[in-house]
Structure 1
Amino acid sequence: MDSVSQLALGASVAVAVAGRRVGIGRAACWGAVAGTLPDLDVFIDQGDPILDMVLHRAETHALFWLALASLPLALLVARLHGQAALWRRWWAALALALLTHPLLDAMTVYGTQLALPFSNHPYGLGSVFIIDPAYTLPLLLGLALALARRGPGGLRANAIGLALGCAYLGWSVLAQQMVTTRAQAALAAQGIAAERLLVTPTAFNTLLWRVVAIEGEHFHEGYASLLDAGPGLAFDRFPRRLDLGAAVAGLDGVQRIQAFSKGFHKFSEEDGLLRITDLRMGQEPRYVFSFAVAERGAAGLHPLQPTRKLGRRPDLERGLPWLGRRLLGEPLPPPR
C-alpha cells in the first residue's frame, strides 16, 4: 500500500496496543516510524530495473526478520523515553506496527515475500488497490481524533477507525470472490478455457474490477462493476507473443518476471527492443512494469545489461472519466 496508509496503520495499531500506557502521542509517533521502516528498501539500487522490482518487498517485508528486529527497536524506544519498565508494551506495539505493514502489502497484487528466508514466494491477494481512500481515511480520522482528544474518547475513536479499516479489507475479499464467480461463469459461457485468472480492483475503489484470463498464446481482459445491470462480462483478446519469449527464455530477468508475475505476462517487440510486461498492474496497452530485455541488431538478438524499464502510467485524462462512469455500471469500453 501507499506510504500514507502504512504510516496511518502503524500509528493506529501502536496507539491501540500501547497508547493508554505509554502515551497516545508517543505511541502514534513510533508506530508511524515502524509502519514506514519496511519501505526504506525502495532506496536500495539493485543495479537493474527488474531486480529493483522483484527485490522490493523482500527481506524488509519478511515476517521473520521483522519479528527479530522488533525487540531491539522496542528496547531502544523504551529506554529513550525513560519507560524501561514498559518495554513489553512497547515491544507488542512496535512488533505489530512492523508486522502489519507486509500483511497489508500482501492484500495488493504486487507480491510480498512474507516467508523469507524460508521461501521467496511473492504473496499477493490483489483484493485492494495500492491507494484506496476508503481504507486510509477512517484510519487517519480515528488517529486524528485520538491525538486531539487523548484519553478514553481518543482511544475509542482510534479503535473505531482501525476496525473500519479492517472491515473494509474484509469487504474487499468478499467483493473479489463475487466478481471471480461472475468472471468464471462468463468465461465458461464464452468458451474461454482460462489457465490462470486474475481479479483485482481498479484504481481507488472496490466496486470496479479488472479481470485477466490467460489462455495459452493469448490473454483476455474485461471489467466488471458491482453496479452493473446484468451478470454479463465482455472480454477483449490480446496476443502474448510467447514466440518472442522463447528467444529470451534463458535470461535471468525474463525468468524473474515470469515467476514474480505468476504467469501473468506478455512479450512484445517495438523499435528493435524485445520486452516482457507484467500484466497485473495497468491496463491494455499501458502497464507500469514493462522491461526491454534484449535488442535486435544485424547479428540477431543480444541481451541488455542492465535491462530498461519502459512502463507507462495510465492516461489519467481519459482514464479517470471512464473509471467514474464505468464504476457506476455504465457499459463503456475501456480507453485504449
Structure 2
Amino acid sequence: MDSLTQIVLGASVGEAVLGRKAGNKAMLYGAIAGTIPDFDVFASHFTDTVTALAIHRGFTHSILFSILFAPVFGWLVSRYETYKNFKGWSWLFFWAFLTHPILDAHTTWGTQLFWPLDLRLAFKTIFVIDPIYTLPFLVFLILVLFQKRTSKQRRLYNTLGLTISTIYLGLTFLLKGLAFTKFENALQNQNITFKQIDTRPSPLNTVLWSANIETKKEYLLANYSFFDTQSITFDAYPKHHDLLGDLANNDTVKRMIAISEGWYTIIKKDGDLYYNDLRFGLLSLEPGSQAFVFQYKIEVDDFGRVTFIEQAKDKRDAKKLMTDLWLRAKGN
C-alpha cells in the first residue's frame, strides 16, 4: 500500500499495543515502523531492474524480518525513551512490521511473507491506493490524538479505525469473488475457451474490476463495473512469446517471467523487443492500447548479458486514465 496508509496503520497498531503506557509516542514509533519495510525500494539504486523487482517486498516484508529486527528497534528505543520497557517496545515494532506486509499481501504485487520460501502472497483484492480504506482510518487516528492517554474514548476511536478498515478489507474478497464470477460467466456465454483468469481492482476503488484471461495463443483483457448494464467485452493481446527466441533460455529473462508469474507479452518495435507485464494492466481504457503500466525494453550487450529498461510513463496518460476510470466505474 501507499506510504500514508502504512503510516496510519502503523500508528494505529502502535497505539493499540502501547498507547496506554507511552501515549502519542506509541503512535509516532508505530508510524515509523510502518514505513521501514519499504526501505527495500532503495535497492533499485544499487542493482539491476530485475534484481530490484525480486528484492522488493521480499525479506523486509517477511515474518522473519519482524522477528529479527523488532527486538533491535525495541532495544534502541527503550534506551532513550522515558518508557523503558524493552518488551513493550519490541512488541510494538513486531506488530507494526508484521501488519505492513499482511496489508501489502492484499495488493497486486503481493509480499514474500514467508521469505526465504519462494512464495509471494498476492490476494489482489485492493489497489495500492484506496481512499475508502485509508480516509476513515485516518479520521479516527486524528481523533485519537486529541484524547488523553488513559481515556476510554481514545481506545474506542482507535478500535473503530482498526475494525472498520479490517471489515472493508474483508469485504474486498467478496467483491473480488463477485467480479470473478461475472468474468467467468461472460467467457462461457461467449464460448471462449480459457486456461486461467486473474482479477484485480482498478485504481482507487473496488467498484471497477479488471481481468486478464489466458487462452492458448493470446491474453484477453477486460473490465467490469458493478454498475454495468451491457455485456463484458474482451480485448485480445497476442502473446508473441516466440519473439524472445534464444533469449527465453536466458536466466535474467527467466527471472523476469517468474516475477510476472507468466503474465506477459512481447512486442517488437523499431527492431527492439519490449516486455509488457500484464499484472498491472494499462494506462488507458482504449481498446488495443499498448500503454502498459510496466513496459521494459530488452537490451542485450556484446557479452550476451540481458538488461530490462523500464520505459517512462506519460503523465498525460495517467491524468486521462483517472477521468476515464471514474466514467467507466459508473457503468457501460
Whether TM exceeds 0.5 here: the answer is: yes
Partner of 1:131: 129
Q: Is the 8 A contact 2:273 2:298 kept in 1?
A: yes
Q: Is the 8 A contact 2:125 2:172 kept in 1?
A: yes
Partner of 1:194: 194
3-state SS of the aligned residue for 2:95? helix
Q: Deviations over 1:65-97 (max 9, x none)?
A: 22221122112222321323x333322222110
In 2: Cα distance, 1:197 partner to 1:126 partner? 12
> 1:121-270 counterparts in 2 under 5 A?
121-150=119-148, 151-229=151-229, 232-270=231-269
Matched, 1:281 2:284: no
Deviation of 1:273 after TM superposition, in Å, equals 1.6
> 1:114-125 counterparts in 2 under 5 A?
114-117=113-116, 119-125=117-123
Deviation of 1:29 after TM superposition, in Å, equals 0.5
Between the aligned residues of both structures, percent identity stands at 33
Q: Is the 8 A contact 2:8 2:141 kept in 1?
A: yes
Q: How many residues align?
A: 322
Q: Is the 8 A contact 1:135 1:168 kept in 2?
A: yes
Aligned AA for 1:9? Answer: L
Q: Root-mean-square deviation (CA), in Å? A: 2.0
Q: Which runs of 5+ in 2 are unaligned?
A: 283-288
3-state SS of the aligned residue for 2:205? coil
3-state SS of the aligned residue for 1:124? coil
Q: Is the 8 A contact 1:108 1:128 kept in 2?
A: yes
Aligned AA for 1:318? Answer: K
Q: Is the 8 A contact 1:12 1:31 kept in 2?
A: yes
Partner of 1:91: 90
Q: Is the 8 A contact 2:208 2:223 kept in 1?
A: yes
Partner of 2:299: 294
Partner of 2:307: 306
In 1: Cα distance, 2:212 partner to 2:113 partner? 25
Higher mean alpha-carbon deviation, 153-162 vs 45-54, is at 45-54
Q: Which runs of 5+ in 1 are unaligned?
A: 332-336
In 1: Cα distance, 2:240 partner to 2:304 partner? 18
Higher mean alpha-carbon deviation, 5-14 vs 73-82, is at 73-82
Partner of 1:334: none
Q: Is the 8 A contact 2:218 2:237 kept in 1?
A: yes
Partner of 1:316: 318
Q: 1:327 to 1:29 in 2, by over 3 A?
A: same
3-state SS of the aligned residue for 2:279? coil
In 2: Cα distance, 1:203 partner to 1:14 partner? 29
Aligned AA for 2:142? Answer: A
Q: Deviations over 1:188-245 (max 9, x none)?
A: 2222222221110111000000111011220001111112236x32111111111113
Aligned AA for 2:55? Answer: L
Matched, 1:325 2:327: yes
Partner of 2:285: none
Q: Deviations over 1:153-203 (max 9, x none)?
A: 122112111111111111111100110111111112222222221110111
3-state SS of the aligned residue for 2:198? strand
Higher mean alpha-carbon deviation, 254-263 vs 170-179, is at 254-263
Deviation of 1:256 after TM superposition, in Å, equals 1.5
Partner of 2:286: none
Higher mean alpha-carbon deviation, 206-215 vs 311-320, is at 311-320
Q: 1:251 to 1:187 in 2, by over 3 A?
A: same
- In the superposition, the TM-score normalised over structure 2's length comes to 0.91
Q: 1:319 to 1:303 in 2, by over 3 A?
A: farther
